[in-house]
Amino acid sequence: MSQNFPNFGKVAVLMGGYSAEREISLMSGQGVLQALISRSIDAHAFDPAERDISQLKTDGFERCFIALHGRFGEDGTVQGALELLGIPYTGSGVLASSLAIDKVMTKRVLLSEGLPTPRYVLLRRGRYSSADVEAAADTLGLPLIVKPAREGSSIGLTKVTAHADMALAVEKAAQLDADILCEQFIRGDEVTCPVLGTGSEAHALPVICIVAPDGNYDYQNKYFTNTTQYLVPCGLPQGEEAAIQALVLKAYRTLGCRGWARADVMIDKLTRQPFLLEVNTSPGMTGHSLVPMSARAAGLTYEDLCLEILKTAALEHARPAQAQTPGNTGAAA
């Protein structure tokens, strides 16, 4: 790849933050930071949990690489702050970020466009009864998945195989979110597919098939063990990979994503029907992460991947030519 990249100026790599995924974000951010520095980018770490985000402006940062995961980083809040500061940033804008982090809202949008996603029941903390919990299990059948609506990295997720375990699983998820998602379990292949680019230039990267111990792709097996297998090429039947890439790309555009993202999909073992689980708008960039793995299969090194993502940094809304100040509305007296 050519070394003549644009002058990005002073770049902040946003990492850490306040969410339950802080530890993973720090790992992602350090990886991105070192990759950018290795390509002579004037990049610096910036942790919004330790410094006021307004300091990005006062310290002269010209663009941000968002390596934050979860709330206060992947949910539209930081994106909104950067819009106000006028500092271009990587990844999706305010609306797409806030939609995608909410798994229930994501499902509603996908279903409205006829895109397949597992059946679900929504429970709200403090407003559900034991009968509601039992009804969710009866409606969806067992096994089923219970998880917080707005967490990532499988935090707070439980695969429930018996009615007796439902109450504890719901309580666990309710500790992390007011909205608890009970979701139909799809038995079959678990795959993921990243997307790079914006609009007509957006394109899907190779699909990865995930084979976790006992089918348990949890927080520990995602980041801290080497027992999970990642198959790329994915080894799916002929035509299935292309179909999944097309489905993921449609979901990406439906939610209004830009820059990059990664969608998780389950393929029903019997029917081979793919079901969209969620779209991650600020995916992991650790040594175990899937976007770099897929990009590598497409011939893109980790360092080049970081540069390609940084190139897409943008603001959703252009600043007006003359910013108006209080008392100067431009209207006639």
Please tell me the predicted confidence (pLDDT) of residue 214.
Answer: 67
Contact status, residue 101 vs residue 148, Cβ threshold 8 Å:
no
Residues 208 and 156 in one domain: no
196, part of any domain: yes
Please tell me the predicted confidence (pLDDT) of residue 20.
Answer: 85
> Which residues are the active-site residues?
21, 153, 223, 262, 264, 278, 280, 284
Which CATH number does the domain housing residue 249 bear? 3.30.470.20
What is the crossing angle of helices 166-174 and 130-140, to 10°?
Answer: 110
Q: What is the pTM of this model?
A: 0.90
pLDDT < 70 stretches in the chain: 1-6, 153, 214-225, 320-333
Which CATH number does the domain housing residue 158 bear? 3.30.1490.20
**Separation between Cα atoms, residue 323 and residue 284, nearest integer Å:** 36
Residues 272 and 124 in one domain: no
Contact status, residue 281 vs residue 97, Cβ threshold 8 Å:
yes
Cα–Cα–Cα angle for 249, 252, 255, nearest 5°?
145
Domain holding 56, by residue range, is 10-90
How far, CA to CA in Å, does 224 sit from each of 38, 86, 294?
26, 37, 19
How far, CA to CA in Å, does 74 sit from each of 67, 98, 230, 298?
9, 7, 25, 26
> How does pLDDT run across 96-117, given as a tens digit for each residue?
999 999 999 999 999 999 999 9
Residues 244 and 280 in one domain: yes
Contact status, residue 122 vs residue 132, Cβ threshold 8 Å:
no
**Separation between Cα atoms, residue 184 and residue 163, nearest integer Å:** 14
Residues 6+ apart with CB under 8 A from 152: 21, 69, 70, 74, 101, 280
Q: Which residues pair with 155 in a beta bridge?
A: none
Residues 64 and 207 in one domain: no
Assign 107 to helix, strand or coil.
helix
DSSP 318: P
Instruction: Name the domain count of the chain.
Output: 3
Q: Which among 126, 122, 121 is positioned nearest to 138, based on CA atoms?
A: 121
Please tell me the predicted confidence (pLDDT) of residue 224.
Answer: 55
Residues 131 and 237 in one domain: no
Please tell me the predicted confidence (pLDDT) of residue 332.
Answer: 43
- Tokens standing for 5? 């990249």
Please tell me the predicted confidence (pLDDT) of residue 151.
Answer: 83
